[in-house]
Amino acid sequence: MMKRSETLFERACKTIPGGVNSPVRAGKSVDMNPLFIDEAAGAIIRDVDGNEYIDYVGSWGPMILGHAHPEVVAAIRERISRGTSYGAPTELEVIMAETIVEMVPSIEMVRMVNSGTEAAMSAIRLARGVTGRKMIVKFDGCYHGHADSLLVSAGSGVATLGIPGSPGVPEDLVRHTLSLPFNDMKALNSAFDRYGPDIACIIVEPIPGNMGVIIPDVDFLKGLREIATAFGALLIFDEVISGFRVAPGGAQELYGIGPDLTCLGKIIGGGLPVGAYGGKPEFMLRMAPEGDIYQAGTLSGNPLAMAAGIATLTVLRQGDLYPKLEKMGNALFSGLASLAGNAGIPVVVNHVGSMGSLFFTDAPVLDFVTAKASDARRFKQYYRSMREHGMYLAPSPFEAGFISAAHTEEMIEKTLNAAASAFKEMLN
Ligand SMILES: *Cc1c(COP(=O)(O)O)cnc(C)c1O
């Protein structure tokens, strides 16, 4: 008899392209079909066949408190019977904005949108509007959503599927995007030597998570700040993953670097669709209706998303969660590195707190080129074996793994045991 996940996938493929509503879910690069999920609680996710897994995907980053956190569920429940969207301002939006401003060092004003894609797209429009310039600088392997001018050497599903650009993106637009190697100050300097006066902004994931996790050279991040200031370009930190993940105020708090604009998403929605971009009033007040740069959204600041997001941020602020996440991150990621080492399998493990990646390679992974040098066949073996052992991982070496506050030491131990078996099987 066919499993329900299999039957559903077959059905899905008839009416949904590739059977999925976002390419990263498909599992094409590991030759496996996606699991269809029935429910999740805490760190455990259960598929429609009744199999339970320890979840390291966390909906690709948002679920830092774990699934169905009681306070998030209560907040949504409290709002839902009072209407789900009004298209008019609510107190929740004010609380959300105030919370973000208090938590994220460089943000003084913020606009809510519905996805990280929209946040990055809008921040770039703002940077272009403010500077009157067209060109943007991004970095190979960084992903900022699927807006046209950002789909150049992008990470995440674009990297997993090996797509260099995308049909449907006009060359006229891509012409204005410079994609440079991450952590490479020399390449950045020469790009600015050549195009500096035409560059509107630098957009960067300060801790890249979409080519697998890359540890930033802090001097490189400082260099971005300096060169942007020197040339009058805006520095945009895309903290859609790192925001509220690596510290309450994201990577900018962790490294003490102030961008001009910040993109947020994922965690601030507590698992509901959301995004945001913010920065100094001198820039943010250029947005309509106060200013002349246009951006809008029917469902922006949606009351359910705000309620879930505020509840999540409130728990994050009150609890002593970051040291715990850090401790578990260290246990898991250094555990993986030493187990692989014991088994004689070359790996590089990069992690910052509770986000991290395992690369099957023996050379340091510092950028997209070195990330892509990792062994895809070994990753596939690892992924398949881990799934058989009840571990739900992102089906791609170019994604981050996430630990939530609901993960326990016992779960980490179980995961390490599973990894030890996976490494052993790999040698056969
Ligand atoms: C996920 C992600 C996005 C896109 O967010 P969506 O909500 O999927 O549109 C943008 N930037 C980064 C760094 C991301 O990880």
User: How do the domains of the chain map onto residue ranges?
Assistant: 4-68+320-426, 70-318
What is the per-residue pLDDT for 163?
Answer: 65
What is the per-residue pLDDT for 387?
Answer: 97
| Phi-psi domain of 192 (left: phi exceeds 0; alpha: psi -120 through 50; beta: other) | alpha
Cβ–Cβ under 8 Å, residues 182 and 249: no
Torsion of CA 363, 366, 372, 378, to 10 degrees: 50
Q: How far is the CA of 156 from the centre of ligand 1 (A)?
A: 9
Query: Quick one: average pLDDT of 321-337?
Result: 97
Q: Which residues are catalytic?
A: 143, 238, 266
What is the per-residue pLDDT for 170?
Answer: 84
Number of the ligand 1 atom closest to the C-alpha atom of 241 = 15
Q: What is the pTM of this model?
A: 0.97
Q: Is 266 helix (H, G, I), strand (E, B) or coil?
A: helix
Number of the ligand 1 atom closest to the C-alpha atom of 115 = 7
- Residue nearest atom 15 in ligand 1 by C-alpha distance: 241
Which of 358-378 are b and which e, b meaning 16 or more Cβ less than 10 Å from the residue's Cβ? bbbbeeebbbbebbbebbbeb
Query: Quick one: average pLDDT of 82-105?
Result: 98
What is the per-residue pLDDT for 2?
Answer: 84
What is the per-residue pLDDT for 413?
Answer: 98
Ligand 1 mutation target, pool 146, 211, 266, most atoms within 8 A of CB: 266
Q: How far is the CA of 61 from the centre of ligand 1 (A)?
A: 9
Is it the case that residue 162 has pLDDT exceeding 80? no
If one compares 162 and 413, the residue with the highest pLDDT of the two is 413
Q: Hey, what CATH topology would domain 4-68+320-426 get?
A: Aspartate Aminotransferase, domain 1 (3.90.1150)
Query: Quick one: average pLDDT of 147-156?
Result: 84
First-to-last alpha carbon distance for the chain, in angstroms, is 30
Residues with CB under 6 A from ligand 1: 115-117, 120, 143-145, 205, 209-210, 238, 240-241, 265, 275
What is the per-residue pLDDT for 334?
Answer: 98
If one compares 245 and 168, the residue with the highest pLDDT of the two is 245
What gap in Å lies between CA 36 and CA 7, rounded to an integer? Answer: 10
Q: Is 357 helix (H, G, I), strand (E, B) or coil?
A: strand
What gap in Å lies between CA 356 and CA 361, rounded to an integer? Answer: 15
Out of 35-49, 144-158, 399-413, pick the least confident. Answer: 144-158
Cβ–Cβ under 8 Å, residues 397 and 375: no
Q: How far is the CA of 2 from the centre of ligand 1 (A)?
A: 34
Q: By percentage, how much of the chain surpasses pLDDT 90?
A: 91
Query: Quick one: average pLDDT of 178-185?
Result: 96
What gap in Å lies between CA 353 and CA 288, rounded to an integer? Answer: 38
Output the average pLDDT for the chain: 96
Residue 140 DSSP label? T
Ligand 1 mutation target, pool 241, 262, 274, 396, most atoms within 8 A of CB: 241
Query: Quick one: average pLDDT of 255-278?
Result: 98
- Residue nearest atom 10 in ligand 1 by C-alpha distance: 144
- Residue nearest atom 8 in ligand 1 by C-alpha distance: 116
Number of the ligand 1 atom closest to the C-alpha atom of 116 = 5
What is the per-residue pLDDT for 173?
Answer: 83
Query: Quick one: average pLDDT of 217-228?
Result: 98
Considering only CA atoms, which of 61, 100, 37, 38 is closest in space to residue 267?
61
Q: How far is the CA of 102 from the centre of ligand 1 (A)?
A: 22
Ligand 1 mutation target, pool 24, 117, 246, 302, most atoms within 8 A of CB: 117
CATH of domain 70-318: 3.40.640.10
Considering only CA atoms, which of 30, 29, 8, 3 is closest in space to residue 19?
8
Q: How far is the CA of 288 from the centre of ligand 1 (A)?
A: 24
pLDDT class of 343 with cuts at 50, 70, 90: very high
Q: Give the pLDDT confidence of 14-60 residue by residue, as tens digits.
A: 999 999 999 999 988 899 999 999 999 999 999 999 999 999 999 99
Output the DSSP codes for 190-254: HHHHHHGGGEEEEEE-SS--BTB--PPPHHHHHHHHHHHHHHTPEEEEE-TTTBTTTBTTHHHHH
Is it the case that residue 91 has pLDDT exceeding 90? yes
- Residue nearest atom 11 in ligand 1 by C-alpha distance: 144
Q: How far is the CA of 312 from the centre of ligand 1 (A)?
A: 18
